[in-house]
Chains A and B, each alone.
Chain A
Amino acid sequence: QKEVEQNSGPLSVPEGAIASLNCTYSDRVSQSFFWYRQYSGKSPELIMSIYSNGDKEDGRFTAQLNKASQYVSLLIRDSQPSDSATYLCAGLTGGGNKLTFGTGTQLKVEL
């Protein structure tokens, strides 16, 4: 099993809808997770971090962590075309010394 796994997509949602992005992780990943957004040709940009079980909200973004089921999700409310990007999930591994990334989910927000 890969340490951090994501569905590559593309995930298509209409403008104004909620986009739900999911990520699962293995036992080798510690309980700190990060969501990055990456536009085509650009570098990843940190948008959310979550360290404890439950939900964390920041504007239109909500990160959810479920330790029992070993998954992390990112909800984007009122999706906009500018949200179209690849979203990378990452977790701390190696005793908390490094981040391991999923391969990313491509999100397309359609007009």
Chain B
Amino acid sequence: DVKVTQSSRYLVKRTGEKVFLECVQDMDHENMFWYRQDPGLGLRLIYFSYDVKMKEKGDIPEGYSVSREKKERFSLILESASTNQTSMYLCASRLAGAGEQFFGPGTRLTVL
């Protein structure tokens, strides 16, 4: 079974803090993705990565950055957290060329 794990299920941070969200997959998938999910807005793609050290902006990259130093790990960074970044953050991975994408359990981030 594909397993995608995320470092925290729940996280509370203060405005202006730097926040790191970690995602690890154990199936040697090339492609990894970060989404945020908000009521009424659905899943929105923040950043994705085709392979190690590669990254592409998604639909809403502003205020975020990413890092992919190892194939199994994809990190999302909020340089200076703001209250409008309070959301559910979901990581996903998939094999290159395949369609099926698998999600981690999510991190519910609250920025106060």
Contacts and interface: CB of A to CB of B under 8 A. Distances in A.
A43 B41 contact: no
A44 B37 CA distance: 11
B103 A98 contact: no
Interface string A90-103: 10100001111111
B105 A42 contact: yes
B103 A44 contact: yes
A49 B99 contact: yes
Interface size class of B (residues with CB under 8 A): 20 to 34
B42 A49 contact: no
A98 B99 contact: no
A50 B40 CA distance: 26
Interface size class of A (residues with CB under 8 A): 20 to 34
Contact of A45 (B31, B48, B50, B103): B103
Interface centre among B40, B43, B102, B104 (most CB of A within 10 A): B43
A101 B99 contact: no
Contacts of B90: 43-44
B101 interface: yes
30 contacts: A32-B99, A34-B99, A34-B100, A34-B101, A43-B90, A43-B103, A43-B104, A43-B106, A44-B43, A44-B90, A46-B101, A46-B102, A49-B99, A49-B100, A88-B43, A97-B31, A97-B48, A97-B50, A97-B56, A98-B33, A98-B45, A98-B58, A99-B33, A99-B101, A101-B42, A101-B43, A102-B42, A103-B41, A103-B42, A104-B42
